[in-house]
């Protein structure tokens, strides 16, 4: 192509997208929030789409917090990202928590579709809700497996929590009211990364973690069953712009292939591979897709 043709093509390309040779297909962009689990999921989705659709997928991973990434989705800066039902209800929609997972998903789907033109795909399969964790040896000695049984533990518990858990509407205050847990003194607040070390070193005897924390896959600990269903569900699914699905017909089917592939344990192991074993995210994502039979 000569210089005159190139210049003409560039000029015309500013005014129209219908001339062959002057434009190219807009890439799909996958986003994520700024913590390990989200970055892993974003990379898995991006690699899967590249394999299934046979085209490059842009990545805007580690973008920031919930509201920033949600706004990027609504603005069309990204096409999709992983989100959690509990977070969508409380942080984005400003609605009370729904404790039934089916009802929570139905409500989130309806509100996102109506307010933002965003579709929620079927859940990926894991629920990253809060998790009250004790040492395995203490669970075995005291025969404690549920939060109701923990409430009857006469010595009481030294509790370690993250700063946010102490302030949240679905956090500490409601937990203590629901189960009347015997807490010795005031809970110890600390960075989330220190919770399991404090539990191992016996500075505390119970911690408030998350169900997919990587260390849960390697430590001798027990997640106490939330038998009164106090904690709301945080089922993870891909939130996708409706316009992106309409513009890319194969996209929906490719994303549907990821539904139900993750369990809480699977996600814990993936998180540990990155945070604990320090493996590159891209490598961990590739291995997951191979193990799931989604690529060679």
pLDDT above 90 for 1 = no
The helix/strand/coil state of 183 is strand
Per-residue pLDDT band at 268 (split at 50, 70, 90): very high
Same fold yes or no, 26-127+233-291 and 130-223: yes
Percent of the chain scored above 70 by pLDDT? 92
What crossing angle do the helices spanning 281-291 and 36-53 adopt, rounded to 10°? 60
Q: What is the pLDDT of residues 154-206, one digit of tens each?
A: 999 999 999 888 888 788 999 999 999 999 999 999 998 899 999 999 999 99
Angle (nearest 5°) at CA 25 between 19 and 29: 155
The helix/strand/coil state of 70 is helix
Are 85 and 53 within 8 A, CB to CB?
A: no
The helix/strand/coil state of 136 is helix
- Tell me the pTM: 0.87
Are 281 and 222 within 8 A, CB to CB?
A: no
Are 92 and 70 within 8 A, CB to CB?
A: yes
For residue 192, which of 215, 226, 158 has the smallest C-alpha distance? 215
Q: What's the CA gap between 70 and 262, in Å, rounded?
A: 23
Are 180 and 150 within 8 A, CB to CB?
A: no
Are 118 and 74 within 8 A, CB to CB?
A: yes
Q: What's the CA gap between 57 and 287, in Å, rounded?
A: 19
Q: Where are the domains of the chain?
A: 26-127+233-291, 130-223
Q: How much is the pLDDT for 192?
A: 86
Q: How much is the pLDDT for 166?
A: 87
Phi, psi at 204, each rounded to 5° = -135, 165
Partners of 130 in the β-ladder: 210
Are 80 and 61 within 8 A, CB to CB?
A: no
What's the CATH number for 26-127+233-291?
3.40.190.10
Neighbours of 132 (CB within 10 A): 24
Angle (nearest 5°) at CA 254 between 115 and 57: 80
Give, in words, the CATH class of 130-223. Answer: alpha beta
Q: What is the pLDDT of residues 119-139, one digit of tens each?
A: 999 999 999 999 999 999 999
């Amino acid at each position: 192509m000569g210089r005159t043709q190139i210049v003409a093509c560039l000029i015309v390309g500013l005014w129209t997208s219908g001339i062959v040779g002057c434009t190219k297909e807009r890439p799909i962009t996958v986003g994520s929030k700024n913590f390990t689990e989200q970055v892993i999921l974003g990379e898995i989705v991006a690699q899967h789409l590249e394999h299934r659709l046979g085209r490059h997928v842009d990545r805007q991973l580690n973008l920031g917090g919930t509201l920033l990434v949600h706004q990027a989705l609504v603005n069309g800066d990204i096409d999709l990202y992983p989100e959690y039902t509990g977070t969508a209800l409380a942080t984005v929609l400003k609605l009370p928590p729904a404790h039934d997972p089916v009802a929570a998903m139905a409500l989130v789907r309806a509100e996102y579709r109506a307010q933002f033109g965003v579709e929620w795909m079927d859940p990926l399969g894991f629920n990253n809700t809060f998790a009250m964790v004790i040492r395995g040896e203490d669970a075995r000695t005291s025969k404690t497996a549920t939060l109701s049984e923990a409430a009857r533990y006469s010595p009481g518990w030294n509790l370690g929590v993250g700063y946010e858990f102490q302030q949240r509407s679905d956090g500490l205050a409601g937990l203590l009211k629901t189960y009347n847990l015997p807490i010795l003194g005031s809970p110890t607040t600390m960075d989330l990364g220190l919770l399991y070390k404090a539990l191992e070193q016996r500075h505390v005897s119970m911690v408030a973690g998350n169900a997919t924390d990587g260390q849960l896959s390697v430590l001798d600990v027990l997640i106490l069953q939330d038998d009164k269903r106090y904690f709301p569900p945080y089922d993870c699914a891909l939130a996708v712009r409706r316009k992106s699905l309409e513009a890319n017909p194969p996209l929906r089917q490719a994303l549907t292939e990821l539904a139900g592939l993750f369990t809480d344990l699977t996600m814990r192991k993936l998180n540990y591979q990155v945070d604990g074993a320090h493996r590159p995210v891209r490598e961990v994502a590739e291995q997951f897709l191979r193990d799931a039979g989604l690529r060679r």
